A and B are shown apart, each in its own frame.
Chain A
Amino acid sequence: MNLAAIVFAAAEDGVDAGKAVALALGIGLGSLGAGIGIGNIFGSMIQAVARQPELRGELTGIQWLGFALTEAVVFYGLIGGLLAFVLV
């Protein structure tokens, strides 16, 4: 009941609703790319360790570096989206 009231209130204010949808879409699409990238990194890590387990220690550092660099892409999207949300 309360939820429905909020949805209707948001729909009345079309501009805010559009901004919210755009922000959510932007972050969602950004997460999509980063999700594929992070999956790639961990998949490659598993393959690499399966082939050469003795390199695990050296590879772990590179793996986390790649993880953080890829994951940050989502947050650039988030910051960009928030900036657009506040400024427009």
Chain B
Amino acid sequence: MTRGFRWITLGAVGLALTLPASALASTVEGEEEKFDPSEEWLLHDWIPIHIGPLDLSINKAVAYLILGSVLTILLGWFLMRWRLGTDPDRRQTVGEWVYEITQTQIAEQGLPTKAIARWFPYVASLALFIWVVNVIGFIPLPLSDETFELFGVEFPTWGIYAATSTLSVTLTLALMTFFFTHIEGIRANGAVGYFKSWIPDVPKAMYPLIVPLEILGQFMRLISLSVRLYANMLAGHMLILTFIGLMFVLENVILAPLVVPAATAFYLFEILIVVSIQAYIFAALSAIYIGSAIEPEH
């Protein structure tokens, strides 16, 4: 593919993406509705499923999660399971690179040697899954609660939304790590030995102060692990949305040369750095927590 052809393709894709946006802009102006960024995070039921007190409805976040899981499976299969050979092509090199990063940078940093075989699959798939869900959160997809009309047909609006900018999703992932940590700790050291290992080497008189703090610390891990990912993705989306939305709040299109580059800069920062860092951090901290439960320092 020549360079010129690439640019033409890129331009055509960009133009195709802006068409629905302009159609949307015209309908919004007609209706004169007020712009509110927080409405992006309201989840409406698409297919209501209520089993007793359980609410298992399919909404925007669930759709993104299902898409993310399917893409993660396909990506892993495509990169690391399909047509492998001793003479690797570019695709296989990427697969091996992903494997190496997850093994040397994530699993071997946190897990003791004897536990790598058992827990490497968990931390590696955690990293890959969070990365995929974060990335599709920054690609405009026609999965949205709002619709626009084009040639008399209703289409869902193209928008960016990450399932990981919902606290329930990240809390569930953090809860998995939380339970695995304590189950592995009890299995490796016995219940008494494991809970004793929480208490650091301090004089006995300090125990009433230290023990509640250490127990609280275990639960603070749960909060910090989930809120870190959640707030990063939420703030990233909110920044982009607010900068673009400034045009609609102030009802002034002259701001476009100012706000669009700013939003683009934040978009690039998010998709180039934050997306990968957060996936790496979540998996690395999970490995460190599980590893420190299996082999306590004291």
**Contact A79 to B231, CB < 8 A, known contacts A61-B109, A67-B277:** yes
Which of A6, A68, A74, A75 interacts with B281 by CB under 8 Å? A68
A47: CB under 8 A from chain B?
no
Q: Is the CB of A78 within 8 A of B235?
A: yes
Give the residues in chain A near B281, CB-CB below 8 Å. Answer: 64-65, 68-69
Which of A65, A72, A76 interacts with B284 by CB under 8 Å? A65
Which of B235, B249, B250, B277 interacts with A75 by CB under 8 Å? B235
Give, as a whole number of angstroms, the nearest-CB distance from B251 to chain A. Answer: 6
Residue of B nearest to A77 (CB): B231
- Chain B contact patch, size range: 10 to 19
- Chain A contact patch, size range: 10 to 19
Give the residues in chain B near A67, CB-CB below 8 Å. Answer: 277
B157: CB under 8 A from chain A?
no
A3: CB under 8 A from chain B?
yes
Give the residues in chain B near A71, CB-CB below 8 Å. Answer: 232
Residue of B nearest to A1 (CB): B252
B105: CB under 8 A from chain A?
yes
Interface of A is mostly: helix
Considering the complex, which residues of chain B in the window 234-266 have a beta carbon less than 8 Å from any beta carbon of chain A?
234-235, 249-252
Considering the complex, which residues of chain A in the window 47-88 have a beta carbon less than 8 Å from any beta carbon of chain B?
61, 64-65, 67-69, 71-72, 74-76, 78-79
**Contact A75 to B228, CB < 8 A, known contacts A65-B281, A68-B277:** yes
Q: Is the CB of B280 within 8 A of A75?
A: no
CA distance A65 to B105 in the complex (A): 11
Pairs of residues from A and B, 4 with the lowest C-beta to C-beta distance, nearest first: A75-B231, A68-B281, A72-B228, A61-B105
**Contact A3 to B250, CB < 8 A, known contacts A64-B281, A65-B281, A78-B235:** yes
Which of B224, B232, B250 interacts with A2 by CB under 8 Å? B250
User: 7 A–B contact pairs at CB < 8 A?
Assistant: A2-B250, A6-B249, A68-B280, A72-B228, A75-B234, A78-B231, A79-B230
Q: Is the CB of B231 within 8 A of A76?
A: yes
Q: Is the CB of A2 within 8 A of B280?
A: no
CA distance A75 to B231 in the complex (A): 6
Considering the complex, which residues of chain A in the window 1-23 have a beta carbon less than 8 Å from any beta carbon of chain B?
2-3, 6
